Structure 1
Amino acid sequence: MASDPSCPRPLPAGRAVLLGTLALLLLAGPAAAQQFTLDLGAEGAEGASLTGRAIQLFAIVTLLSLAPGIAIMVTCFPFIVTVLSILRQAVGVQQAPPNMLIVSLALFLTWFVMEPVFTEAWESGVSPLLEGTVEPEAALQATALPFRRFMEGRVDPDTVAEMRAAAPERLAQTAPDAPVSFGVLVPAFLLSEVTRGFEVGFLVFLPFLVIDLAVASILMSMGMMMVPPAVVSLPFKLGFFVLADGWSLLAGALVRSYGT
């Protein structure tokens, strides 16, 4: 039978399969590209989240490494440790109590004084940050606010004025009624605390100086000029300090000076 020329010839099986595969690939191309873009977006979001967590971890580790410096800069530790060091020199003993004990006592007295400030800083800034209810910038400002109020209540205004005058060009853009920046407040607070520590140390030194002068005068009147007065006066100074309950009196006076 002769074939009708108007009817299309059937495609070979191999060519039909090839054309069908190409059609499926063309149809699936846009959907695959869209899915690939979504996958890249998800991976990018996950990478950004991991980067943010890494930055937060780095900031926490840095803060922990700077904790001793922060304890010295924004607390009453400089004042207390200065007074205790001068007291040891006034008594006349070089290594009793040792430096570790002096620093430890100053740290615990600092904690006793600063506990309300630490509690307020934790409740207003650190705890909301850990719970995820505030942003890190707002948490940092809320944490620093109690320490700012503490330092502003103790800093000497003349010292702040001196620190402002030391860098007039850098502070020229700030308004006169603007709060004192931490770059000015922290060094001014440190200088004020050290100055106040030397003032209190001078008052602590006076009774022991009187004992030294009295012992030296007695030894000279007895003709015992070869005997070191410091060796003879040391037991009297120790006895005077112990009988007066000097450690408790001094610690109480240091703590009460902060209004706690």
Structure 2
Amino acid sequence: MKDLKLRDKVRTLLYMIGMVAVLFMAETTIAYATSDDDALSNSILSEQPVDENRTNIREPGSSENADDLKQLNIANSLTVSYDGGNGELAGTLRILLILTAISLAPILLVTITSFTRILIVLHFTRQALNTTSAPPNQVLIAISLFLTFFIMQPTFSQIYTDAVVPFENGDIQLEEAMDLAIAPMREFMAGQTQVKDADAFMQIADIPWDGTDWKEVPTSVLIPSFIISELRSAFIIGFIIYIPFIVIDMVVASVLMSMGMMMLPPTTISMPFKILLFVLADGWNLVIVNLVRTFY
């Protein structure tokens, strides 16, 4: 057994020595070129026509110094192009900007559109009805999204016409396209932002403002001012929606107390009456239609 193991080890060692010997005995071929004819004869250059500004290399060669590279017209510097020479962005940079915009889309949807007010009002409506899971959150978010697209459709159309189309046609640069795209959004946010909210943030930013010209308000100040105004408007609308349902709760609680049924939760009895009142008054139509009209 020991002899067999020894033979296997010796055989493995011989195999390894043989492989190393083959590697060292292999002849290395290096192609040197001092002119275009030599390069073609050594199959370094492509057989295609070669101009004096560019060299197409078929096989990897070697060079000892910069002069060898110059003889083959190989540039030893790297140039990164951000545009195609006609005002358009390079393809990779365009893809990068598109991916960045897609990643920021949810944040922009929540902060600078009507989505926040709509979603909060719908949540208040559901809580006022005491239906904790009907309609579910997915349905409320879907309704809020479609109402947001409906309300923002004129703004989005203006952005597409004024900024996206000229930029795709190469008529304007990226900076100008961004300015044209943010202008309709600023106009929408300024129309929904209260002056006192914008003035408060302008004072925090230590920027003088007379409260009349919204063009003097930076976008970094306008966005938080718009969010605060949207939250205030949403809570005011939610309070108004709550009032009739609170009256129903109070009436039901008084009736139960007068009947001596204090152990029975009033919300259990009042919820069917709330749903009945909401359906008879066509509540969803009233809430959604009047909510959309608050943006016009």
Q: TM-score, normalised by structure 2?
A: 0.70
Query: Helix, strand or coil: the match of 1:224?
Result: coil
Structure 2: distance between partners of 1:65 and 1:126 = 18
The answer to whether the Cα contact below 8 Å between 2:118 and 2:291 also exists between their aligned partners in 1 is yes
Is 1:147–2:185 an aligned residue pair?
Answer: yes
Is 1:89–2:89 an aligned residue pair?
Answer: no
Is 1:71–2:71 an aligned residue pair?
Answer: no
Structure 2: distance between partners of 1:245 and 1:175 = 44
State the AA in 2 paired with 1:134.
I
Q: Deviations over 1:211-230 (max 9, x none)?
A: 00000000000000010000
Query: Which of residues 161, 172, 186 in structure 1 aligns to 2:223?
Result: 186
Which residue pairs with 2:163 in the alignment?
125
Which residue pairs with 1:57 in the alignment?
95
Query: Which of residues 259, 262, 265 in structure 2 aligns to 1:228?
Result: 265
Structure 2: distance between partners of 1:53 and 1:64 = 17
Q: 1:157 and 1:209, CA in 2 relative to 1: closer, same or farther beyond 3 A?
A: same
Which residue pairs with 2:241 in the alignment?
204
Structure 2: distance between partners of 1:142 and 1:167 = 25
Q: CA deviation at 1:167?
A: 2.7
Q: CA deviation at 1:35?
A: 4.0
Mean alpha-carbon deviation: is it higher for 219-228 or for 49-58?
49-58
Which residue pairs with 1:245 in the alignment?
282
Q: CA deviation at 1:258?
A: 1.3
Q: CA deviation at 1:186?
A: 0.3
Structure 1: distance between partners of 2:225 and 2:195 = 9
Q: Which has the higher contact order (CA 8 A, sep 6+)?
A: 1
Q: Deviations over 1:188-243 (max 9, x none)?
A: 00110011000010000000000000000000000000100000000000000011
Q: Deviations over 1:157-207 (max 9, x none)?
A: 100111112232xx47x9996521111000100110011000010000000
Q: 1:132 and 1:199, CA in 2 relative to 1: closer, same or farther beyond 3 A?
A: same
Q: CA deviation at 1:249?
A: 1.0
Q: 1:57 and 1:238, CA in 2 relative to 1: closer, same or farther beyond 3 A?
A: same
Is 1:135–2:156 an aligned residue pair?
Answer: no
Structure 1: distance between partners of 2:197 and 2:163 = 29
Structure 2: distance between partners of 1:204 and 1:98 = 19
Task: Flag the structure with higher helix content.
Answer: 1
Query: Helix, strand or coil: the match of 2:264?
Result: coil
The answer to whether the Cα contact below 8 Å between 2:82 and 2:93 also exists between their aligned partners in 1 is no
Runs (5+) with no aligned partner, structure 2? 1-33, 36-49, 55-69
Q: 1:232 and 1:166, CA in 2 relative to 1: closer, same or farther beyond 3 A?
A: same
State the AA in 2 paired with 1:244.
A
Q: CA deviation at 1:255?
A: 1.0
Q: CA deviation at 1:55?
A: 2.2
Question: Aligned Cα RMSD in Å?
Answer: 3.0
Structure 2: distance between partners of 1:229 and 1:245 = 24
Q: Percent identity?
A: 37
Structure 1: distance between partners of 2:227 and 2:113 = 9
State the AA in 1 paired with 2:225.
A
Runs (5+) with no aligned partner, structure 1? 1-20, 23-31
Structure 2: distance between partners of 1:89 and 1:112 = 25
Structure 1: distance between partners of 2:129 and 2:210 = 49
State the AA in 1 paired with 2:167.
L
Which residue pairs with 1:109 in the alignment?
147
State the AA in 2 paired with 1:239.
L
Structure 2: distance between partners of 1:254 and 1:175 = 31
Query: Helix, strand or coil: the match of 2:216?
Result: coil
Aligned residues: 228
Is 1:158–2:158 an aligned residue pair?
Answer: no
Q: Deviations over 1:98-144 (max 9, x none)?
A: 11111110111111111000000111001111121111111111111
Q: 1:143 and 1:229, CA in 2 relative to 1: closer, same or farther beyond 3 A?
A: same
Structure 1: distance between partners of 2:203 and 2:82 = 44
State the AA in 2 paired with 1:109.
L
